[in-house]
């Protein structure tokens, strides 16, 4: 079973912390492999910069081939692109992209999963689990907060 992970946009760094957390989610969700795609195709230093570089619709559409390829053959999808929408014209394109992604997931009959019932980016997971389950170490808390989106909160 393969987990498709939809992140925000490519990193300018190695992305090691994000990749390690994605691998933890893969194990928690009992998947053998993972594929990663980004909802926006251009790298920026911070996701807030997407508002400036994401004003053209065609840029957003350019991410769809990679997203589709990631969804091909996946059994589950982890939505992890973040909760902060970009501003300006990029916000409209972002919302269109999220709607398209949702339709793709539903059309393929995939189980979608989020962290804490939001598409929280992996860089925010530990902060969320510490606030929600302060008595648990991070890996154990992850088991509790990955929830299904399109199956009434049930995974599987």
pTM listed for this prediction: 0.92
pLDDT in tens, the chain (156 residues): 999 999 999 989 889 999 999 999 999 999 999 999 999 999 998 777 899 999 999 999 999 999 999 999 999 999 999 999 999 999 999 999 999 999 999 999 999 999 988 999 999 999 999 999 999 999 999 999 998 886 544 443
- For helices 16-28 and 138-145, give the axis angle rounded to 10 degrees: 60
Q: Where are the domains of the chain?
A: 2-148
* Distance from C-alpha of 103 to C-alpha of 91, rounded to nearest angstrom: 18
- On whether the 2-148 domain is CATH 1.10.3470, my answer is no
Distances (CA, A) of 124 to 3, 81, 116, 121: 20, 11, 11, 6
């Amino acid at each position: 079973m393969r987990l498709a992970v939809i992140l925000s946009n490519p990193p300018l760094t190695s992305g090691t912390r994000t990749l390690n957390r994605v691998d933890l989610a893969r194990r928690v969700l009992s998947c053998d492999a993972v594929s990663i795609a980004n909802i926006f195709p251009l790298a920026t230093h911070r996701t807030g910069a997407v508002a400036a570089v994401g004003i053209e619709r065609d840029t957003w559409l350019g991410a769809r081939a990679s997203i589709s390829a990631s969804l091909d053959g996946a059994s589950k999808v982890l939505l992890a692109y973040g909760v902060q929408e970009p501003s300006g014209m990029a916000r409209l394109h972002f919302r269109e992209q999220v709607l398209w992604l949702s339709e793709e997931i539903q059309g393929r009959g995939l189980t979608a999963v989020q962290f804490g019932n939001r598409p929280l980016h992996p860089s925010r997971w530990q902060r969320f689990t510490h606030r929600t389950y302060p008595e648990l170490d991070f890996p154990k808390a992850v088991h509790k907060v990955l929830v299904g989106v399109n199956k009434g909160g049930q995974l599987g």
